[in-house]
Amino acid sequence: MTENPETLHGARAELIAAAQRADGWAKPFPPLLGDAHPASVLVLFGRLDSTPAQTDEATIAADLDVLLQRRAATLSSHPGQVSFPGGRREEQDADAVATALREAQEETGLDPAGVEVLATLGELPLAASNHVVTPVLAWWRSPSRVAAVDHAETVEVFRVPVAQLLDPATRFTSRLHRFGRTWRGPAFDIDGTIVWGFTAMVLDALFDATGWTQDWDRSVERAIEL
């Protein structure tokens, strides 16, 4: 049964509420051309290790982190980019949630038993690799150890503090020139690690929907070098 966010408080409730009012959330994403492969990503928020144990209702955005990974530079799709754990749906997957949890376990080694799924968000087109992606929004009730499992696919797994992502000083507009066109979008510079493209767009839209976004200077542009 879906929880009523009006009866809840704290960051977890704000994430649930954001998922329920995500109309028009896919508008900034470039459209697909032709048939697309279904895929899922796990957008997993949890409490910072430094945050004392407390109820979900007492947890605020500044107490959270989000799980990200860096893809191997040798991959044909999105090489070297920072992404959420996830991948293409396989025949054994019952639904988008099963895909996201399976891929996250295979890539990061996390224990799905400690993950509470809050919502599946609307499908988003990922034109660069011709996928239609379902973000699965989740809460890490019992964090488990994570690390890159298969270095042919993932070279690094890390938990980024949400407060750092929200800091206006980390934010800028990415600029990518390809195939005679220029693409711009939100991006984050986390101590030299650049989060841009699809992952940054999902985080940006989610932060807007939760009301967590702090004003940042969108006129600051930086070129993305592939």
What's the confidence (pLDDT) of residue 24? 58
For 167-190, write each residue's pLDDT tens digit.
Answer: 999 999 999 887 778 889 999 999
Q: Is the pLDDT of residue 51 over 80?
A: no
What's the confidence (pLDDT) of residue 95? 94
Element (H, E) at 101: helix 96-108
Fold topology of 5-165: Nucleoside Triphosphate Pyrophosphohydrolase (3.90.79)
Give the pLDDT band of residue 224 (cuts 50, 70, 90): confident
Task: Copy the structure tokens of residue 124.
Answer: 């988003």
Identify the bridge partners of residue 65 per DSSP, sorted by sequence position.
Answer: 46, 161
For 102-132, write each residue's pLDDT tens digit.
Answer: 999 999 999 999 999 999 998 887 766 677 8
Task: Copy the structure tokens of residue 62.
Answer: 């500044």
For 10-38, write each residue's pLDDT tens digit.
Answer: 999 999 998 887 665 655 666 555 577 88
What's the confidence (pLDDT) of residue 4? 47
CB-based contact 165:190 (threshold 8 Å): yes
Exposed / middle / buried, residue 75 (Cβ in 10 Å: 0-12, 13-18, 19+): middle
Closest CA to 28 of 200, 168, 193: 200
CB-based contact 124:26 (threshold 8 Å): yes
* Domain limits, the chain: 5-165
Range of lowest pLDDT (43-57, 114-128, 130-144): 43-57
| Residue 196: Cβ within 10 Å count | 22
Tokens 């993305």: give the residue. 224
Range of lowest pLDDT (23-27, 56-60, 158-162, 193-197): 23-27
Spacing of C-alpha 160 from chain mean position: 11
d(CA 2, CA 146): 29
Mean pLDDT of 144-157: 86
What's the confidence (pLDDT) of residue 144? 93
What's the confidence (pLDDT) of residue 58? 74
pTM, 2 dp: 0.88
